Each structure stands twice: as C-alpha cells, then as structure tokens.
Amino acid sequence: MVVLEQLNNFNGMVAFGAALCSRLDKEKQQYYEHFRKVCMDDNRQTAIRAKMRSVNPPCVPFPGTYLTKMFFVEEQNKTFVKDREKEVHSEGEKESPDITKSKRLISFVRCRKVAEIIKELYLYQSQQYMLRAEPSILVGFYLTDFSKNEFNLNTKLKIDNQNCTSN
C-alpha cells in the first residue's frame, strides 16, 4: 500500500485497503490505520480530497469522489431554466405547449460545473508514469492461462487454507 501512495494511486489505495481490512495481523494494523485515515475517514472523503489536491501528477484519483461530486451537481442544478421572455408576457396570454417546449433554455451553469469536475480528473491523469516494466512479472502474466478459473479458484483456496492454519 505504501507503493500505491507513492504513485498517488488513490483508487488502488481504497480498493486495497477495503480488501485487507479483515486479513491483517496485529503487526500490520498500524499500516492499515494510516491508510484508513487517508482513504476511508468519513463519508465526505475530506482527507482523500485534501491529499489529492496536495500531490503532483501523475495521480490515479478515486473515482467515487468525483462521481459523488457529479451526482450532487446533477441533483442541485436543473437541466433547463425558465425562459425570461415567458415571464414578460402578460398573464392573460396563453402559450401553446409547442412554444413552451421550444423556449426551454439549457442551464450552462450546470454544464460548467460538470466540466470543471471532468477537467480536474483529466488534470490528474494528463501526465504518464515513468515506470519500468518488471520482466519477471510480465513472464508470469504471459505464462498464466487466466481462462482456467477452476485452477485459479483451487489455488486461491489452497493459499487461504495455508494462511488460516499458520495464524
């Protein structure tokens, strides 16, 4: 998890932290507590947002933060706004439904807010990582046939059983 933090990979940190929560021994609990404070502090995700603002790209932001922001922008701002010309008409005049539909105006405030969120996401990912591929890991991926799910499941169960008996 330290490597994920060094790479500014907040999405990986959240995923890794959630997966490890129940699998850690006492010794590694202190490492987990650090990442829990950064990644899962509260529902508003204030710690992870502050940490993301303080790092330099490249960065893999946690998409849940941005999806939440976009959700609230969508909920708080209407897609269409009232037409001012409609308000100018005298109250006695009746407009046909076709005219009312054609005079709906799109809220560009909402569009700008969504664009700002997307721009922030893009800013974090605009620069590439300069990492070197590890040949031994690549060979392992090339030689493993991931289509044999039964083999992978049996291997995982063996490893889990070994870990349970050794603790």
Residue 56: per-residue pLDDT: 85
Distance CA 106, CA 109 (A): 9
Residue 71: per-residue pLDDT: 93
Integer CA distances (angstroms), 125 to 4, 9, 58, 131, in order: 15, 11, 6, 15
pLDDT class of 99 with cuts at 50, 70, 90 = very low
Mean pLDDT of 98-112: 75
Residue 41: per-residue pLDDT: 64
Distance of CA 50 to the CA centre of its chain: 15
Residue with tokens 């620069």: 127
Residue 17: per-residue pLDDT: 75
Q: CB under 8 Å to 85, separation ≥6 — which residues?
A: 103
Beta carbons of 85 and 104 less than 8 angstroms apart: no
Stronger pLDDT, 22 or 59, i.e. the higher one: 59
Distance CA 104, CA 106 (A): 7
pLDDT tens, residue by residue, 106-164: 888 899 999 999 998 888 888 888 888 888 888 877 777 766 666 667 777 777 777 66
Domain 2-166 in CATH 1.20.120.1750? The answer is: no
Residue 73: per-residue pLDDT: 92
pLDDT tens, residue by residue, 35-56: 777 776 666 677 778 888 888 8
CB crowding 22-58: b at 16 or more within 10 Å, else e? eeeeeeeeeebeebeebbbeeeebeebbebbeeeeeb
pLDDT tens, residue by residue, 71-87: 999 999 888 887 665 55
Domain boundaries, the chain: 2-166
pLDDT tens, residue by residue, 86-96: 554 545 555 55
